[in-house]
């Protein structure tokens, strides 16, 4: 109820301005260790049945925050205290860039969705790396989502990813190659096996940190599986499915720009996860994102083959209690279905 009132006030502001106000406030508030402990007591669920060892890390629960909310690593401690099992920052680019002109973020409250054409607005890798290096406490696994600069040519794109891998090699628990955002011109043209294999081959030489690749929901299923196959063969530790969609028919009245996220993406994202689950069960880690907003939906993704799930848009609509509520619900589902731990439920519907 309290967040509903707060949300109504926030929604009176333009979407990106509201986001900046919230993130600025959280950046100040997280300085208080007392406040962070209060948040953890209120929202974090501790239950060993939800824990998994993946990517060389202990994930206390499977509900992570997707990239996009904390682009510049300003809120790592606050977001971990909200009860997320992992936090992914970024997308980070080598050089600072402002992104696309405003307005570039819109809410669709009746559909519990967002639309953005932010365009990798980033403080740049040096500022973000300096900020991460100053975070002495690492309460949850930290992912760093990597993207090329807008001005970098397709031919030089691999160099951008290599720079980022080197710079964050001692700061990230896992990396995500973002070649699927619709908001950087021609970026999705890098969603091809040859590029994935080239970057991942370089990554093996650069870092021992696990590297995943994030794909778009708009890829034909066969192309998505082909790309994932090439990535896994080249050394990818997993696949994140999916980024936002440019299927504007999903949302009547949508602007013909940017990507849609949230509830309108749910079934499209789930369908691709199902296909990937059937193709890669037991072979690689799958992380499902796109329309996850409840314990029921998270459980459906896990049973379809995802080891972890992520969310972002639902946090805007539900508030900081959401990760804890989902995790509490997952424990109930495990008990209902007779599973002693989460890993037993993963892929149960395949």
Which residues are catalytically annotated? 181
Distance CA 299, CA 49 (A): 14
In whole angstroms, what is the distance from residue 260 CA to residue 255 CA? 10
Which residues, other chains included, contact 91 with Cβ-Cβ below 8 Å and sequence gap of 6+? 67, 68, 71, 120, 122, 145, 146, 147, 178, 181
Q: How far apart are CA 143 and CA 145, in angstroms?
A: 6
Give dist(CA 93, CA 181) in Å, integer: 13
8 A C-beta contact, residue 190 and residue 179: yes
């Amino acid at each position: 109820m309290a967040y509903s009132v707060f949300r109504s006030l926030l929604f009176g502001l333009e979407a990106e301005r509201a986001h900046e106000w919230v993130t600025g406030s959280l950046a100040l508030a997280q300085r208080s260790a007392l406040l962070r402990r209060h948040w953890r007591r209120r929202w974090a669920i501790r239950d060993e049945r939800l824990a998994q060892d993946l990517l060389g890390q202990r994930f206390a629960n499977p509900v992570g925050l997707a990239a996009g909310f904390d682009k510049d690593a300003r809120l790592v401690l606050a977001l971990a205290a909200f009860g997320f099992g992992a936090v992914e920052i970024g997308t980070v680019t080598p050089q600072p860039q402002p992104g696309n002109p405003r307005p570039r973020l819109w809410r669709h409250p009746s559909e519990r969705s967002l639309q953005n054409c932010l365009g990798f607005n980033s403080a740049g890798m040096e500022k973000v790396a300096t900020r991460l290096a100053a975070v002495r406490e690492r309460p949850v696994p930290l992912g760093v989502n990597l993207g090329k600069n807008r001005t970098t040519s397709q031919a030089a794109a691999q160099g951008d990813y290599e720079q980022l891998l080197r710079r964050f090699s001692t700061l990230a628990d896992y990396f995500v190659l973002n070649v699927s955002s619709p908001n950087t011109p021609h970026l999705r043209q890098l969603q091809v096996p040859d590029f994935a294999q080239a970057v991942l081959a370089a990554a093996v030489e650069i870092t021992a940190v696990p590297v995943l690749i994030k794909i778009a929901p708009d890829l034909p299923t066969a192309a998505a599986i082909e790309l994932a196959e090439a990535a896994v063969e080249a050394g990818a530790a997993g696949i994140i499915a999916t980024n936002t969609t440019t299927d504007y028919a999903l949302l009547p009245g949508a602007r013909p720009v940017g990507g849609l996220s949230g509830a309108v993406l749910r079934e499209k994202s789930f369908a691709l996860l199902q296909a990937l689950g059937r193709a890669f069960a037991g072979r690689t880690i799958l992380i499902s994102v796109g329309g996850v907003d409840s314990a029921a939906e998270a459980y459906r993704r896990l049973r379809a083959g995802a080891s972890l799930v992520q969310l972002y848009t639902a946090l805007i609509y539900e508030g900081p209690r959401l990760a804890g509520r989902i995790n509490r619900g997952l424990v109930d589902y495990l008990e209902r279905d007779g599973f002693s731990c989460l890993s037993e439920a993963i892929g149960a519907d395949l």
